[in-house]
Structure 1
Amino acid sequence: MRAEHLGPQRRRPQVLDTALDIAADEGLAQITFANIAARMGVSRPVVYDCYRTRGDLLAALLERETEVALSRLTAILPPLKTGSVEDMFVEGFRSLLGDVRERPASWRIIFTEDPDPTLAEAISGGRRQLTEHTAAVMRPLFERWQIADLERVLPVLTEVFLGICETSVRTMLAPESTWAPDELADIVGRAAYRALRART
């Protein structure tokens, strides 16, 4: 039986969810309009009504998942008034790595090592967005720590922080990984805190 008729606006989230499921099960290369249509029980024109090209679809999927990643990554950074900043970093990484365990396909798309050529520009834009947003959120914490020459140092410390985040995500995603989110968060959370405080 065919799926009920929905307009493109209501259908797009379903298309992206299906694409994400395919990526999780079979890899990015298998995200095609034909495969999406088959899984959804609709005709290919229904998918084309939502996204003009495969590149448009993949870019939209990456954009959606990057927005979620932004909220998770910046949640690691503690508010200005808090108890132990180091413990807050650990808690933040625990939340991040728990999400990686819950939604591995999303994080594989964001941190893919072998990006689909169609995704290259979107991945570059997504990473740039992550870097800019993270730097903006980190600034008040660094000002509180009275880091000297902040304008010059902020981009470097932002990349250090994101590098630790990416390493922790890749570690969780590795097929042979035996890490639990709590266990890994205790290591990388404290490492991130100490790396960022090295300048103070």
Structure 2
Amino acid sequence: MSRERSGSTLSTRAAHLGPAVRRPLVLDAALAVWAEHGYRGTTMAAIAAQAKVSKPVLYECFDTKDAVLRALLDREEDRLMRATQQALTVDASSDLRTTVAQSYEAFFAAVLAHPVSWRVVFDAQGVLPQEIDNRYRKARAVFVRQIAELVRSLTTSGKELTDAEAAVLASNLARLAEDNATVLLSDEGHDWTPATLAAFVTRVALDAWS
């Protein structure tokens, strides 16, 4: 009898997870709902159903739908960008073309590894409320500035860029990454690998610039 009560107590405690433990599970549920139903179809009720929790339990973790999605975007952007950030760290022997190609390949590989994450992040650009949209734009601006600094450091003598030129080139490089990640996940994407797409996009970007 004592063992039965002990087991019952442990089961009850396991079922009553605190908000800190439940938040990652809620974000997994929100990711699945957004991927299937889009931003507008991602409601607190739908997230709760996907996470198999009650709405009061969900609200213990996040106050609003936007709070859930803000946290979700933070997580998914970080997941995608970590691989690219690693490629932006170069050694003294690196050149611009090699570094750009490696960065694209790392990013495209991350997109293929986490396709749902990318679809959510990309979808967010056009449909989010202004507050979250501004947060995304600020994060992207930081990334573009990092690319601009890298581009300036790797340009050869005689081809030095002004700050304005580096900013435009960096923005275009980032946009090509975003647009072609979507191509990679489309029906036509089976014709490409991260390496072959990265090589082609690098030629498009840098041959046009040079």
CA distance in 2, matches of 1:116, 1:150: 34
Q: Which moved more, 1:124-133 or 1:42-51?
A: 124-133
Which of 33, 39, 57 is the matching residue for 2:44?
33
CA distance in 2, matches of 1:143, 1:102: 30
1:139: Cα distance to partner? 0.9
Root mean square deviation, CA, Å: 2.8
CA distance in 2, matches of 1:91, 1:148: 22
| Higher RCO (C-alpha 8 Å, min separation 6) | 1
CA contact (8 A) 1:22 1:31 kept: yes
Matched, 1:82 2:76: no
Q: Structure 2, unaligned stretches of length 5 or more?
A: 1-10
Residue deviations 1:45-76 (CA, integer Å, cap 9, x gap): 11111111111111221122222333344344
Tell me which amino acid in the other structure corresponds to 1:173.
L
Sequence identity (%): 28
Q: Where is the helix percentage greater, Structure 1 or Structure 2? A: 2
Matched, 1:55 2:66: yes
Residue in 2 aligned with 1:165? 177
For the pair shown, which has the larger CA radius of gyration, 1 or 2?
2
Shift of the 155–84 alpha-carbon distance from structure 1 to 2, 3 Å rule, reads closer
1:177: Cα distance to partner? 3.2
Q: Which moved more, 1:81-90 or 1:160-169?
A: 81-90
Residue deviations 1:112-167 (CA, integer Å, cap 9, x gap): 2773343x431332132122233135414413425545322232122111111112
Matching of residues 91-106 of structure 1 within 5 Å = 91-106=102-117
Residue in 1 aligned with 2:146? 136
Matched, 1:127 2:137: yes
CA contact (8 A) 2:144 2:167 kept: no
TM-score by length of 2: 0.78
Matched, 1:187 2:196: no
CA distance in 2, matches of 1:144, 1:70: 21
Q: Structure 1, unaligned stretches of length 5 or more?
A: none
Residue in 2 aligned with 1:152? 164
Q: Which moved more, 1:105-114 or 1:36-45?
A: 105-114
CA distance in 2, matches of 1:23, 1:175: 20
CA distance in 2, matches of 1:117, 1:140: 30
TM-score by length of 1: 0.81
CA contact (8 A) 2:80 2:114 kept: no
CA distance in 1, matches of 2:96, 2:171: 19
